[in-house]
Every structure is written in C-alpha cells, then in structure tokens.
C-alpha cells in the first residue's frame, strides 16, 4: 500500500508539475498571441493607406515623382510642373495648348482644406510651353471669371475646335461629390460654367448623391464616364451612355471585368479609334499591379466583350501613383500624373508611346467634339 501510495504521490506530484507547466506554457502562448495581435494592429495602422475624402498625403510637402527602376517616364518640366501638384493634362487638337489641374500659387483657396485644385492653361510658342494662365477671376478677362471657383475643378478636356472645356467640379476635399460641367467660349470669352443637367445637348447624368467624373466623349452619340454611387457601384466604375434616335439613353456599366471592387476610371483619349481597346486607371491589386494607381489596358474579344485588363508594365507604372494618363494629339506621346504612394503631390510626366509595349498598336481617339449647338466661338 505504501508503495502504491508512494507511486500515487509521485504521480500526483508529476501531474501537478505537468499541470503547472501546461498552465505556464498556455499563459506564455496567450501572452505571445496578445503581443502578436497588438503588433499586427500597430503595423496595420502604419501600413494600410487611409482614404477619406481624398488620398492621404495630399497636404504633405511635395516630394516629386519617384521613378521605378525601369520606368522610362520623364518630367514635362517647368513651367507646367511647379513645386505644387500638377495632374490631369490634356491638349488642343493642334497640340499647342495644354490644360491641366494644379494647386500652384494663384489657385483659389478652398475653405476647410489646406489644398486646392484649379484649371490652368499653357500655350506652346516655338515648341516651348509658356507660363500657365489661371482660368479664374481677376487673372485674364478673356478666360474667366467663370471657370475656377473655391470648389475643386479637375479633369479638364478641350474640344477639338478649342471652344469648349469639359471638366469635373467637386466640393473641396470630397471626391464623392463630383459633377460634370461644361464652359463655352463665345466671341473670345469663356461663358459661365454649366452643370451638364442644365445643358440640353448633353446627357443629364449628374446625380445628387453620386460622383460623375471625367467624360470620354468618343463621338456625338457615345460618351464614357466614371461613376460612383453608394449601393449601385463598387467604387468608381466606368460607364457609358449612348444617343439613339436623337435621345440620350439610360447609362450602362461596362461590366465586372473592367470594373473591379476598387477604383477604376477612364480618361479622355483612353479609347482606341476602333473602339476595341481602352485604357483605365485602377487601384486593383490584381497580378501585375505595381502598387497604388496603375495604368491598365483591356481588349474586346470577337463577341465584343471586354476582357480582364493587363497592366501596362514597368516602363510607366511604379510603386507610387501613376494615373490619368492621356495622349498628345499626334498619338505618339503618353502623358499623365505620377507621384508618391497615397498622394496627389504629382508631376506631369511623359513617355514615348512606342516605349510602352502594350501601347505600340494602340491608336487613340483625338480631343472630344464640341457637342454644344452654338459653335460660333473664337478659339483665340
């Protein structure tokens, strides 16, 4: 019995040691897990970009474009680029006028936010870009005061005859409030900008609660545009609207291959002349993404269905933001905004189209047509 008792005592003691060891081990594991969870939470706050009304970093000091190891893009230089943000450049049909969005000195202050965006215009004289003109009040009576305001004016495009500017106006700092606007030059003077819903010749596609931005006017009967609407779209998606028998029809989405759960949008000349290829800016993290916004291309199959977009590659895309690129009128040069990740502190960059392998056979449409009835403007 004693032997049995001694054995039982020994076993009991061993069991107690094992139990304490298990408790100590379990406690350590719980502590390690708590520490790991805490570390992951801290890292998530540090590494995950925060998107509110605008991309974080928009109010950070301008740090210029950081090129990838194989990026061939180059800065368009001064006076187009300044120490502030420059994005979303487009050109007149003759290539001698450029309009773009900028927050440079002279832009109208936006209330409640430390940054602003206005439309600026530059003319090329003997191949050299001149100092940009602010399209706002008190700057030049022949180009204002009816375009720039304390709101954000972005994504401008100049019609093929030089007499119309299509653009997007946002509440300052709130990228979910975009509406499409248009202004027309008549007798050399830019008229008050009008909401598309107030213009009979244009489709009435602006909504009270959504974002409509950057129209791609392919013809007088086909317009692509970018649309974000809570409960309707996943984020910013690409849509189109067509005119049939003289009447603009209900807009349609381009579908789930073009439109991902992330931000997708087209810009200006990002459609091929045959309508079978298109370019998008997207934040999708699909295979091939270089990070941030990248430029992508999609092709239609023989059935007319858009296929999964392909990343344009390292000759243009970087780990930063590469977005809103478009072509010069001759179709030979690709230009757009590029800058640090999660920031709109961009410069206007350029690259030869043929240096981007997937663009070699892409023949872009030109500047948008003037869709307004009164075409008597003076393009000077």
How confident is the model at residue 377, as a pLDDT?
A: 54
Name residue 349's beta-bridge partners. Answer: 75, 336
Q: Tell me which residue has tokens 């602006």.
A: 206
Assess whether the previous peptide bond of 313 is cis (omega < 30° from 0): no
Q: Which of 141, 123, 136, 188 is nearest to 167 (CA)?
A: 136
Cα–Cα distance measured from residue 58 to residue 342, given in angstroms and rounded to the nearest whole number:
8
How confident is the model at residue 335, as a pLDDT?
A: 97
* Coil vs helix vs strand at 169: strand
Confirm whether pTM is higher than 0.85.
no
Tell me if 206 sits within 8 A of 195, measured CB to CB.
yes
Q: How many CA atoms lie within 13 A of 317 on its CB side?
A: 21
Cα–Cα distance measured from residue 241 to residue 342, given in angstroms and rounded to the nearest whole number:
31
State CA 165 to chain mean position distance.
19
**pLDDT tens for the chain, residues 1 to 380:** 332 233 343 444 444 434 444 334 344 444 344 444 444 333 333 333 333 333 323 333 344 444 455 578 999 999 999 999 999 999 999 999 999 999 999 999 888 887 789 999 999 999 999 999 998 765 555 655 678 999 999 999 999 999 999 999 998 878 778 999 999 988 878 888 999 999 999 999 999 999 999 999 999 999 999 999 988 998 899 999 999 999 999 999 999 999 999 999 999 999 999 999 999 999 999 888 999 999 999 999 999 999 999 999 999 999 999 999 999 999 999 999 999 988 878 999 999 999 999 999 999 999 999 999 876 555 44
Burial class (CB in 10 A: 0-12, 13-18, 19+), 346: buried
Tell me if 340 sits within 8 A of 66, measured CB to CB.
yes
Tell me if 296 sits within 8 A of 279, measured CB to CB.
yes
How confident is the model at residue 379, as a pLDDT?
A: 42
Q: Which of 290, 353, 294 is nearest to 323 (CA)?
A: 294
C-alpha distances (whole Å) from 122 to each of 58, 134, 143, 162 are 24, 9, 12, 13
Q: Which of 349, 348, 339, 347 is nearest to 57 (CA)?
A: 339
How confident is the model at residue 22, as a pLDDT?
A: 39
């Amino acid at each position: 019995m004693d032997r049995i008792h001694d054995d039982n005592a020994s076993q009991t003691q061993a069991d107690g040691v094992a139990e304490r060891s298990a408790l100590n081990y379990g406690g350590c594991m719980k502590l390690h897990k708590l520490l790991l969870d805490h570390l992951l939470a801290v890292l998530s706050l540090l590494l995950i970009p925060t998107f509110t009304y605008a991309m974080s970093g928009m109010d950070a000091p301008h740090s210029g474009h950081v090129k990838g190891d194989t990026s061939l893009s180059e800065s368009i230089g001064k006076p187009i680029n300044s120490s502030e943000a420059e994005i979303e450049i487009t050109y007149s049909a003759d290539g001698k006028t450029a309009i773009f969005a900028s927050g440079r000195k002279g832009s109208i202050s936006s209330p409640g936010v430390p940054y602003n965006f206005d439309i600026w215009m530059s003319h090329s004289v003997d191949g050299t870009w001149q100092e940009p003109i602010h399209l706002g009040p008190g700057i030049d009576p022949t180009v204002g005061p009816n375009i720039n305001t304390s709101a954000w004016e972005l994504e401008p495009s100049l019609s093929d005859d030089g007499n119309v500017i299509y653009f997007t106006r946002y509440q300052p700092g709130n990228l979910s409030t975009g509406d499409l606007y248009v202004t027309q030059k008549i007798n050399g003077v830019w008229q008050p900008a009008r909401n598309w819903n107030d213009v009979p010749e244009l489709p009435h596609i602006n909504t009270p609660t959504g974002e409509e931005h950057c129209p791609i006017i392919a013809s007088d009967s086909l317009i692509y545009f970018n649309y974000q609407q809570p409960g309707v779209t996943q984020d910013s998606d690409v849509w189109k609207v067509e005119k049939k028998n003289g009447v603009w029809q209900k807009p349609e989405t381009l579908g789930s291959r073009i439109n991902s759960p992330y931000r997708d949008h087209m810009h200006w000349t990002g459609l091929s002349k045959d309508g079978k290829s298109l370019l998008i800016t997207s934040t999708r993290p699909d295979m091939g993404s270089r990070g941030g916004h990248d430029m992508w291309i999609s092709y239609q199959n023989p059935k007319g269905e858009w296929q999964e977009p392909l990343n344009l590659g390292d000759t243009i895309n970087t780990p930063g933001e590469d977005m809103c690129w478009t072509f010069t009128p001759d179709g030979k040069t690709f230009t757009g905004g590029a800058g640090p990740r999660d920031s709109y502190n961009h410069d206007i960059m350029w690259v030869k189209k043929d240096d981007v392998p997937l663009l070699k056979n892409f023949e872009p449409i030109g500047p948008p047509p003037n869709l307004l009835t009164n075409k008597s403007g003076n393009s000077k």
